[in-house]
Structure 1
Amino acid sequence: MMELNVSEDFDFQSEEYSDLYTQSDCTAFQHPVWQTAMQQHVRKQIGLRNKTLQFRCKKSGQLVGILPLVARKKMGTNILEFANLGLVDYALPTLHTNFWQWVPNPSTLSVELDRVLGRYDMLRIKHMPSNDPNFLRLLPNACMERAKFSAHVAELGSDYDSWRTDVISKAERKSRDKKRRAMMRNGDWQMNRLTDPADITEAFNHLKLYHKERFADRPGKDMLQDGSSFRFYVDLACHSAESGFSRTYSFTYDGDIVAVQFGLHDGDRYLYLIMGVDYERMGKYSPGLLMTEDIIRDCIKDGIKTFDLTVGDEPYKAKFGTKPLAIYTLWHASSMLGTMGRTVADLMHKQKVGNNLLRWMSN
Structure 2
Amino acid sequence: MDNRKDAFDIRIENAFDFLSDEYAALFHGSVATAFQHPVWLHGIYSKLVPAVGAQPLVVIARYRKSGALAMVLPLLRVRRGPIRTVEFADLRVSDYIAPICTTNVFGDLLRDENACQQIRRLVRPFDLMRIPKLPDGRIPIENLLGAPRRVAMNFNAYSTVLPDTFGEWQANALDRSYQKELAKKYRQLQKKGKLDFSCCDHSTSVADAMEVMKKLRGPRFQAQGDGDLLQRPEYFDFYADVATRGLGSLVRLYTMTMDGKVIAAVLGLCHGGSVAIIMSAFDIAGYKKQSLGALTFEQVARDCIERGDRVLDFTIGDESYKRLFGARPSPMWSVTEAGSMAGSVALLALRRAPWIKLAAKRMTGLRLLPMRISTGAR
CA contact (8 A) 1:348 1:358 kept: no
Deviates more, 1:163-172 or 1:336-345: 336-345
Q: In the alignment, which residue of structure 1 is the partner of 2:343?
A: 338
Aligned residues: 362
Q: In the alignment, which residue of structure 2 is the partner of 1:285?
A: 290
Return the match for 1:256 from 261, 265, 269.
261
Q: In the alignment, which residue of structure 1 is the partner of 2:243?
A: 237
Which digits, 9 at most, give the CA deviation of each residue in 1:269-303, with x for residues without a partner?
11111110011111211111111111111111110
1:301 aligns with 2:276: no
1:15 aligns with 2:21: yes
Q: In the alignment, which residue of structure 1 is the partner of 2:148?
A: 142
CA-atom RMSD in angstroms: 2.1
What CA distance in whole angstroms lies between the structure 2 residues aligned with 1:187 and 1:177? 17
**Structure 2 counterpart of 1:63, which letter?**
L
Return the match for 1:123 from 117, 126, 129.
129
Deviates more, 1:291-300 or 1:341-350: 341-350
1:85, CA displacement in angstroms? Answer: 0.8
CA contact (8 A) 2:350 2:357 kept: no
1:352, CA displacement in angstroms? Answer: 5.9
1:56 aligns with 2:62: yes
Q: In the alignment, which residue of structure 1 is the partner of 2:119?
A: 113
1:25 aligns with 2:31: yes
CA contact (8 A) 1:42 1:50 kept: no
Return the match for 2:86 from 76, 80, 86.
80
1:170 aligns with 2:138: no
What CA distance in whole angstroms lies between the structure 2 residues aligned with 1:42 and 1:143? 30
1:106, CA displacement in angstroms? Answer: 5.7
1:328 aligns with 2:333: yes
What CA distance in whole angstroms lies between the structure 2 residues aligned with 1:230 and 1:100? 35
Q: In the alignment, which residue of structure 1 is the partner of 2:50?
A: 44
| TM-score normalised by L of structure 2 | 0.89
What CA distance in whole angstroms lies between the structure 1 residues aligned with 2:265 and 2:324? 20
What CA distance in whole angstroms lies between the structure 2 residues aligned with 1:193 and 1:311? 23
Are residues 316 and 100 of structure 1, via their aligned partners in 2, closer, same or farther at CA, if it must alter by over 3 Å?
closer
CA contact (8 A) 2:221 2:227 kept: no
| TM-score normalised by L of structure 1 | 0.93
1:70 aligns with 2:70: no
1:191 aligns with 2:189: no
CA contact (8 A) 2:250 2:270 kept: yes
What SS class does the counterpart of residue 126 from structure 2 fall into?
Answer: coil
1:213, CA displacement in angstroms? Answer: 2.6
1:316 aligns with 2:321: yes
Are residues 294 and 235 of structure 1, via their aligned partners in 2, closer, same or farther at CA, if it must alter by over 3 Å?
same
What SS class does the counterpart of residue 57 from structure 2 fall into?
Answer: strand
What SS class does the counterpart of residue 287 from structure 2 fall into?
Answer: helix
1:4 aligns with 2:10: yes
What CA distance in whole angstroms lies between the structure 2 residues aligned with 1:55 and 1:336? 30
Are residues 199 and 22 of structure 1, via their aligned partners in 2, closer, same or farther at CA, if it must alter by over 3 Å?
closer
